[in-house]
Amino acid sequence: MKKALLGLSNNISQHKEKIKVWADSFRKFSDGEVILLAANSNEDDIKVCNELNIRPIPVVVEDTWYINHKRLDHTYNFLKDSDIDLFMITDVFDVVFQSDPFQKFDLENYDLFMGAEGILMSEEPWNTDVVNKVFPGEIEFCKHHEIICSGVIGGKRQQLASLYKRMYDKCEYGTNNHNIKDQAALIIMIAKNEVERLKIFNLNDAWAMHCSTSGPTQFFESWGLRNTIERRYNVPKMVDGKIYTNDNKLYDIVHQFNRVPEWKDILTNEFK
């Protein structure tokens, strides 16, 4: 079974070190190919990809203000014609792998794999604000559902292609009152049971940890997120330079590590 890591980035040559962490940490634990949709790329960007042993796929994003959801269409177009069976599709600048991200996939029972952030929509103001701005009236469908992160998604090629096409179409249907639409679209789709054969890993499953809500960021205390996560799950912790669950299970993926300054250098130093 062919496997790959897939992401999209613009300004690649300016972000070589970040992309190297993403690619090299993945390759440490997986023999899958690393593929980067190279948005608005130039010769220097392609050269960086070649130096990092990443396959570049040049694409054009005309309005980069909306790159967060415009990438969905480019991802779909790549997936639909690919001969690779299994993908991890993630953000690029803020993802580091600590072990094989495919190892927990139950491919007999599920086609798609995502990670929950540990808190409900009604408990976190940023996602609620985006839904209200982009998809007016739809907050009622999802306010009691846990936030699912769109920045780390894995699964089978065909089902991922279908998911990304539907996410993109929903984003295009939404208003332009916010430039980041993809996660709001995904959360609503899941709340409406529009995503079949989906496995959602929670924080205690040790698959993906999203630092924006589950790590010691500036909002962890001020928004009361620590108390919420402690009540519902265990609070992730750093031990000897790695991120674990409170009961000492190593997370496969750490996302948004750059939002925790005291973690960033420790997690990425090996790959610099």
The tens digit of pLDDT for each residue in 32-90 reads 999 999 999 999 999 999 999 999 999 999 999 999 999 999 999 999 999 999 999 99
Q: How confident is the model at residue 2 (pLDDT cuts 50, 70, 90)?
A: very high
3-class secondary structure, 214 = helix
**Is-contact 18 48, C-beta < 8 A?**
no
Structure-token match 């540990």, residue found: 118
CA distance 209 to 230: 14
State which amino acid sits at residue 267: L
Q: How confident is the model at residue 193 (pLDDT cuts 50, 70, 90)?
A: very high
CA distance 255 to 261: 13
The tens digit of pLDDT for each residue in 153-183 reads 999 999 999 999 999 999 999 999 999 999 9
**Is-contact 236 202, C-beta < 8 A?**
no
Which domains are delineated in the chain? 3-271 (3.90.550.10)
Give the percent of the chain with pLDDT over 90. 90
Mean of per-residue pLDDT scores for the chain: 96
pLDDT at 271 over 90: yes
pLDDT, residue 5, reads 98
The tens digit of pLDDT for each residue in 85-109 reads 999 999 999 999 999 999 999 999 9
CA distance 186 to 147: 10
pLDDT at 24 over 90: yes
Q: What is the mean pLDDT of residues 233-250?
A: 93
pLDDT, residue 74, reads 98
The total of other beta-carbon atoms located within 10 Å of residue 75's CB is 25
Which is more confident, 112 or 261? Answer: 112
pLDDT, residue 218, reads 80
pLDDT, residue 223, reads 83
Give the percent of the chain with pLDDT over 70. 100
The total of other beta-carbon atoms located within 10 Å of residue 230's CB is 12
Q: How confident is the model at residue 200 (pLDDT cuts 50, 70, 90)?
A: very high
- Residue 177 CB-half CA count within 13 A: 11
Task: At 13, give phi and psi (nearest 5°).
Answer: -65, -25
| Token output for 5 | 């890591």
Which is more confident, 214 or 168? Answer: 168
pLDDT, residue 221, reads 80
Q: How confident is the model at residue 122 (pLDDT cuts 50, 70, 90)?
A: very high
**Is-contact 249 89, C-beta < 8 A?**
no
What angle in degrees, to the nearest 10, is found between the helix axes of 16-29 and 43-51? 30
The tens digit of pLDDT for each residue in 134-154 reads 999 999 999 999 999 999 999
